[in-house]
Amino acid sequence: MVQYERPGLDAAFAAIADATRRGVLEHLGRADASITELAQKFDMTLTGMKKHVGVLEQAGLVSTEKVGRVRTCKLGPRRLEEETAWIARYQQLWASRFDELDEVLEELKRKEMTDGRKK
């Protein structure tokens, strides 16, 4: 069996598959925040937010720094370039297929109009 596994890509897509984690990324895009601040913003426990941040951190999307008792989160080093390229390839594939479908539909309409006139 052919394996299509790409650890970085898989980890990033798994991380952003969750709405809370996407929200965390969006929030961190505006400003760094502590885990406590994020937990309050998303109305969840510290433990729950730590788990979400951990998933994002493993994917390289978030980095954390502990100063004293406060763990501050900020956007990580990954820029989702590989993920963007992967999506773009499939976007082109689907666009091409829809263009072909449009051509088939136009041909069917022309044929229908031509056949309608012959009757």
Distance CA 101, CA 5 (A): 31
Q: How much is the average pLDDT of 70-95?
A: 91
Q: CATH for 7-75, among 1.10.10.10, 3.60.150.10, 3.40.50.150, 3.10.520.10?
A: 1.10.10.10
Distance CA 111, CA 104 (A): 10
Task: List the chain domain ranges.
Answer: 7-75, 80-119
What's the pLDDT tens digit per position in 23-63?
Answer: 999 999 999 999 999 999 999 999 999 999 999 999 999 99
Residue 117's pLDDT is 66
Distance CA 107, CA 105 (A): 5
pTM, whole model, 2 decimals?
A: 0.74
What's the pLDDT tens digit per position in 5-32?
Answer: 677 889 999 999 999 999 999 999 999 9
